[in-house]
Structure 1
């Protein structure tokens, strides 16, 4: 993928309405989003389960607006984030998440909250802090299969 040119990035991805560039931003954004989800899970992890469930239901009720913001937000942000800026952002955010994960206690990793399962196929009804750390890689790997970019010549086929 490192050999992708501007024309490759403008090409439509496979199975989405986005170009490869927009899909790449969406993939990076999955990691960026985790930085905001982690404190939320930690807060809700200390609240009664009924509040967790009510909050997840409220978010699920807002799936249509979420989908629109997700779609148009990624399209708009991809105009600001070129491939180099995306790569820098991905390196920074994954390094930060990795450092933060190493510093989490077992107790903290076990905190959990209810999630809006209609927002993403990798959201489960209840997710722990550990699950949230794992989410962006599953999300990234899933969408990587939708990119219609040339393979690096020195990379084996997937």
Structure 2
């Protein structure tokens, strides 16, 4: 259940499969455009693809945090989120620099394999979640990501990486999509 409504686990599973296929296609076709600038970011296409992968990797950590903070009084996670919001500038720097360095280590094949692994792991975790577990949650640093809400349940967190992926997908400038960079 999410906010009193049953979570459609199959819909989340289907979204994960959709983005897995899209990500593989993007990696397969991005070779010529990997160093091209993206729309609205300072990253190249290759760096943004890695950031999109990292959004899924991050979910595993967010789920662990929500598991523990979800068992504590809400004011504890509210304080934690406040501290993280206060550290937004250093976070933004690390968030930008991470993909710049990661693409030097992760090539397209490794990114594809990592994406497949993390999607499979999230699908297995979601299938094993209890309804009560999906309702647990915590406060999040809303300044860190436009898709973070003040309070997010584990059900919300499972949905988050697809929103993040779809948003950044529109910023890629691959192939015929490379017009009017702003």
TM tier, shorter chain? Answer: over 0.9
In the other structure, the counterpart of 1:71 is 96
TM-score (norm 1): 0.92
Unpaired runs of 5+ in structure 1? 153-158
Q: Within the alignment, does 1:3 sit opposite 2:29 as a pair?
A: yes
TM-score (norm 2): 0.80
Unpaired runs of 5+ in structure 2? 1-25, 178-182
RMSD between superposed Cα atoms in Å: 1.2
Report the Cα distance in structure 1 between the residues aligned to 2:150 and 2:30, rounded to whole angstroms.
Answer: 37
Q: Alignment length, in residue pairs?
A: 151
Give runs of aligned pairs for residues 1-158 of structure 1, distance below 5 A. 1=26, 2-5=28-31, 7-150=32-175
Q: CA shift at 1:4, angstroms? A: 2.2
Report the Cα distance in structure 2 between the residues aligned to 1:8 and 1:38, rounded to whole angstroms.
Answer: 34
Q: Which has the higher helix share?
A: 2
Deviation above 4 Å: which 4+ runs of structure 1?
A: none
